[in-house]
Structure 1
Amino acid sequence: MLKIGSHVSSGGKGLLTSAQEAVTYGSSTFMLYTGAPQNTKRKPIEDFYVEEGKAVIQENAMEDIVVHAPYIINLGSYKDWTYELAVDFLQAEIHRTHYLGVRNIVLHPGAYTDKDAEYGIKRIAEGLNQVLHGVKETDVNIALETMAGKGSEIGRSFEEIAAILDNVADNDRLTVCLDTCHVHDAGYDIVNDLDGVLDRFDKIVGLDRLAVVHLNDSKNPCGAGKDRHAPIGAGYLGFKTIQSVVRHEKLRHLPMILETPWIGETDAPMYEAEIALLRGNAAERFGTDYLEDVAKLESFFTGKEIDHRQFVLDTWELLRTDAKAKKADKREPIERLYAMVAEAGLFPELTEQQINHRLIGWFSGKEIFTAV
């Protein structure tokens, strides 16, 4: 079974609540933080209801759970206080991850800020050497995440990831997390040449290093270096590209984690629909009425001469390049489409989230009827 899940919002509350939330989305894996990602405040890991959480994980056949390290960790900083905090806090997070029985903690490598990339790479490697020396008794791997290239962050190219690995003595404890939005924004064309990108990664880093995949669409074109996630199908990558990643023979064994944004006035996740559509069991998950509703959307938008891919791309291009248009109407593609459906009263009995779930289905095109 494909291991597809999401980042869970209840991670800092414990393994039990995280697992329970993941179950509601139909997940077969999930990713959690052990506390707020923006600060160092943490509740004791002993209070995470670990055994109860593991029982839920086992009952629901979930596996390869992932932890994400806090964003405030910056091993690339030239400031001693920031660097030392990063080393100490990452070591503490690894011990917490080990307590949960999780094997991989995803880490944003770091940013060089006022220095340069060469300095950043060496500084990060130095930090990782220190971190790993202090957690030898654990079996947790650090999964370096591929980054989008915004600001001074390191990890925006496969070469930078490889350079970090080459400068870490005990690098068999280092793995990699491949983020679809990030590699796209960094300039790797996974829409038209996924095989070529994976071959390049294999030559430079090694596919055997891959441990986690983050599944995210992008609000920006290839090479933009922005790192702005979109719901699956609602961005420049599109549903078919993401599904190609999920199905790829060199990737499909890995845990795949959605970090797509919550949307709508009610600010609700699309995870349940995205997981079912990518897995190919939307009819089983939601019933045949769901497919019928998606067919209604197809008929409705065809009548308005709207193609789902072209509408998405045209809207993002408008918001990206036309300042006046953006100022007049900042709504993203799915928000504009929802407004059309709501105004037409197409599904008066459905909630906003349910309609958006169906729009996610419409973005998938004919793939919705294809089982993985």
Structure 2
Amino acid sequence: MFYIGCHLSFSKGYRAMGEQAHSIGANTFQFFTRSPRGGKAKALDLKDVEELKKLVDEYQFDHLLAHAPYTMNACSNKDYTREYAEEVMKDDLYRMSFFKNSLYNFHPGSHVGQGVEAGIDMIAGMLNRVLSPEQETIVLLETMAGKGTEIGRSFDELKAIIDQVDVKEKIGVCWDTCHLYDAGYDLVNDLEGVIEEFDQKIGLDKLYAIHINDSKNPFNSHKDRHEKIGQGSLGLDAFVRIINHPKLKHLPFYLETPNEIEGYKEEIELLKANRT
């Protein structure tokens, strides 16, 4: 099964997202549980949750993915920011507990001058307070482009976090193709090498999802500006290889390209046409 979807707006609720995803040919999707800039989430509407669960069965969706707000920083130098990150993750994991095979993705954080090692310790500490063996949702560390003091710019940094997590069966990684390329992982000319390095350092069993985005920036630029598929520095051929690679093709892919809903529909059709 080729699981392909995009990022959808939660503004109209769970069922509306399911219907919209189906209308553009998606069989999975990603969404923010609250504003990407933070704040409180809307009160949970259990009736709306049940409506989406019905659509998940009807349309054979799988791997619904919630994305944490961008303001969530588990390794901030401010106590209240770290406390907010922990509260948000706890609340979001409760919300995702209603959906089978669900995923929860977050940017590891920025150490803001405290140092990578200190940041990694704080991120792992939060995960150890939040994760439990009983939860079903898998929490994913996203690969980052490496701008500023971001943590997660290398497989080594992600491994260092995972190594400290107690409930390792509930933690994984989400690749972002734009971020990886901008961070210096050559998905265009050395996809096999990138896959092999990840497998050696972290393990492919820990790779649960891929954000599939082209990049406006050149290789190893350490920036983060997504581009539409085939219109950036990676190019369409690289994505054809990624979605068809035998070690990656079983994963769910989520578009985060600069698009409106019709643009996502066109990209989904493009990727499906190139799936072998």
TM-score normalised to the size of structure 1?
A: 0.71
* CA distance 1:30–1:202, shift in 2 (3 Å): same
- Kept in 2, the 8 Å contact 1:7–1:259? The answer is yes
Tell me, yes or no, if structure 1 residue 21 matches structure 2 residue 20.
yes
Alignment of 1:231-310 (within 5 A): 231-262=228-259, 269-280=262-273
Show structure 1 runs of 4+ deviating over 3 A.
Answer: none
CA shift, 1:371, in A, is 5.6
Q: 2: CA distance between counterparts of 1:8 and 1:49?
A: 16
User: Which residue number corresponds to residue 184 of structure 1?
Assistant: 181
User: Which residue number corresponds to residue 289 of structure 1?
Assistant: none
Q: Deviations over 1:304-341 (max 9, x none)?
A: xxxxxxxxxxxxxxxxxxxxxxxxxxxxxxxxxxxxxx
- Kept in 1, the 8 Å contact 2:140–2:172? The answer is yes
Q: How many residues are matched?
A: 276
* Higher strand residue share: 2
- Kept in 2, the 8 Å contact 1:121–1:163? The answer is yes
User: Which residue number corresponds to residue 92 of structure 1?
Assistant: 91
Of the candidates 135, 138, 143, which is equivalent to residue 140 of structure 2?
143
Q: CA RMSD in A?
A: 1.5
User: Which residue number corresponds to residue 6 of structure 1?
Assistant: 6
Matched residue type, 2:173: V
Q: 1: CA distance between counterparts of 2:142 and 2:229?
A: 20
SS in 1 for 2:76: coil
Alignment of 1:1-372 (within 5 A): 1-9=1-9, 11-47=10-46, 49-132=48-131, 135-262=132-259, 269-280=262-273, 372=276
CA shift, 1:20, in A, is 1.1
User: Which residue number corresponds to residue 358 of structure 1?
Assistant: none
Matched residue type, 1:59: E
Stretches of structure 2 that go unaligned for 5 or more consecutive residues are none
* CA distance 1:43–1:234, shift in 2 (3 Å): same
Stretches of structure 1 that go unaligned for 5 or more consecutive residues are 281-369
* Higher helix residue share: 1
Name the larger-Rg structure.
1
Q: Sequence identity of aligned pairs in percent?
A: 43
CA shift, 1:247, in A, is 0.8
TM-score normalised to the size of structure 2?
A: 0.95
CA shift, 1:51, in A, is 1.7
* CA distance 1:102–1:144, shift in 2 (3 Å): same
**Higher RCO structure, 1 or 2 (CA under 8 Å, sep 6+):** 2
* CA distance 1:48–1:36, shift in 2 (3 Å): farther
